Structure 1
Amino acid sequence: MGHSISGVGVLDKAVLILETSVDGASLAELVERTQLPRATAHRLAQALEQHRLLVRDAQGRWRPGPRLGELANEAPDVLLTAAEPILAMLRDQTGESAQLYLRRADDRICVAAAERSSGLRDTVPIGAVLPMTAGSAAQILLAWEPPEAVLPLLPRAKFTARILAEVRKRGWASSVAEREAGVASVSSPVRDRTGRVIAAVSVSGPIERLTRRPGERHAMAVVRAGQRLSGL
């Protein structure tokens, strides 16, 4: 390992171990990826495991531990804070209800929303749990996932692997009467600083207004909203 990033060498090495373990890593893989001495990598991984920052999976490989999520949940949610004005802007630009969704296992949860003040609208309350097998937001949350996270859901899904490939190519998704009869939607990804998709931002409303090709009408605005929320 080269010079210390923070000036505290052991901290830099511990963070390197955590980053290397995101997708799972054996001791040999930790050593190869970090270029740390075997004894150092093993000692740091064990120490991080004691603090529940790493855990061992069934194959004995280290992976991120539950304490990381606990610490994240205890911190102010920057994404939700930023989402409120951006969803309101998206609602005003499109004239449709806007939502932000996160994936939780085989469901997606609406964590923020901006509703139309009048007229027909697709009301999705904050906290609503919706399936990962229908709707443009579900397509977004699955399109960039590895096959093992997608394949178990496809037999029950209203969309196909080919549709998810198209979503990846164009950068947004649309649906017409997938989740609910009479409702159309358009969604785009929200990414973290590494480019990983962490959320989906959407607009939804009656097909009568969005038409059966809702992307032609609203994709650009939704994509821009996703870009504004990305990298926070």
Structure 2
Amino acid sequence: MDNHSGVGVIDKTAAILAALEKGPATLAELVTTTHLARPTVHRLALALEHHHLVGRDSNGAFVLGSRFSALAATVGEDRLVSAALPVLTTLRDRTGESSQLYRPHGDQRICIAAVDRPVGLRDSIPVGTTMTMAAGSAAKVLLAWEEPQRMHRALVNANFTAGDLASVRERGYAQSAGEREPGVSSVSAPVWGTAGTVIAAVSISGPMERLTQTPAAAHAQAVTDAARQLSDVLLRTH
């Protein structure tokens, strides 16, 4: 295969990324593998790191960055939405509350699928609505398994703490009451992608007077079951 496109900087960048596909590599190892000059590898690797196409592991070695996971998740979004609708409908019927699916969207989250409670008082979230990552059970789920740098940046203005997110990881779900909006309670659980990362959050939400201040007591099992079902669908259809 010809690895030369005629655009030098692209070819060199591609060589670095190809080397990192095989696993973590130090600067010296990248130089050896790519046969590029050390200053060139260093300059390009730092530029790629700036754009999150390259990251560092706990030993400081270069690795493929978080941007690749995000791009892969975006490619599978249509599949995720089509799989989500029957799952969210079952969740709505099981709990009697409106159900939603959220994905990270920059420094916010976006509702990419929703099934409303048909009658009575409900928390209706239209598809396409962007919401804060500083409050709410879905925000906690989407941040709880995030890379540390992004997590700590979000926690600066959040209504919850790193300890709260540790509890979410331990339990496997999150709940909130009056956190995102007065009088609204919610429960959320993580949807896992094929890369072993959390790509979305399944939620139910409704009035606190019906869901109470501890909505997980009645609904955590239903929400985690729905999230697990979606995760399984994605793994089977990968």
Which TM-score bucket, shorter chain as reference? 0.7 to 0.9
The 1:19–1:182 alpha-carbon spacing in structure 2 relative to 1, beyond 3 Å, is farther
Deviation at 1:26, TM superposition (A): 4.9
Deviates more, 1:158-167 or 1:55-64: 55-64
Tell me which residue corresponds to 1:20: 23
Q: Tell me the CA shift for residue 154 of structure 1.
A: 1.6
* Cα deviation code 1:93-115 (max 9, x no counterpart): 00000000001121000000000
Q: Which runs of 5 or more structure 2 residues have no equivalent in the other structure?
A: 1-16, 41-46, 55-63
- How do 1:2-151 residues align onto structure 2 when only pairs under 5 Å count? 17-18=20-21, 20=23, 26-28=26-28, 38-39=32-33, 56-58=48-50, 62=54, 63=64, 73=74, 77-151=78-152
Q: Quick check: 1:159 aligned with 2:160? A: yes
Following superposition, the deviation at residue 20 of structure 1 comes to: 3.4
* Distance in 2 separating the partners of 1:173 and 1:65: 24
1:196: how far off?
1.1
CA distance in 1, matches of 2:114, 2:98: 7
TM-score after normalising by structure 1: 0.75
Deviation per CA, 1:52-109: give whole Å up to 9, x if none: xxx7234998445989977875677211110010001100000000000001121000
The change in CA–CA distance for 1:154 and 1:117 in structure 2 (over 3 A counts) is same
Aligned residues of 2:53 and 2:66 also touching (Cα < 8 A): no
Distance in 2 (CA, whole Å) between partners of 1:60 and 1:215 is 35
Distance of aligned partners of 1:143 and 1:65 in 2 relative to their CA distance in 1, 3 Å threshold: closer
Paired position in structure 1 for 2:182? 181
CA distance in 2: counterparts of 1:70 and 1:161, whole angstroms: 27
Quote how far apart the aligned CAs of 1:40 are.
Answer: 5.5
> How far apart in 2 are the matches of 1:108 and 1:60?
19
Gaps of 5+ in 1: 1-13, 32-37, 47-54
Deviations 1:9-58 (A, max 9, x none): xxxxx87743637xxx5544658xxxxxx34686xxx9xxxxxxxx7234
Asked if residue 191 in structure 1 is aligned to residue 192 in structure 2, the reply is yes
> Contact between 1:101 and 1:112, CA under 8 Å: does it hold in 2?
yes
Give the paired residue count: 203
Identity of aligned residues (%): 48
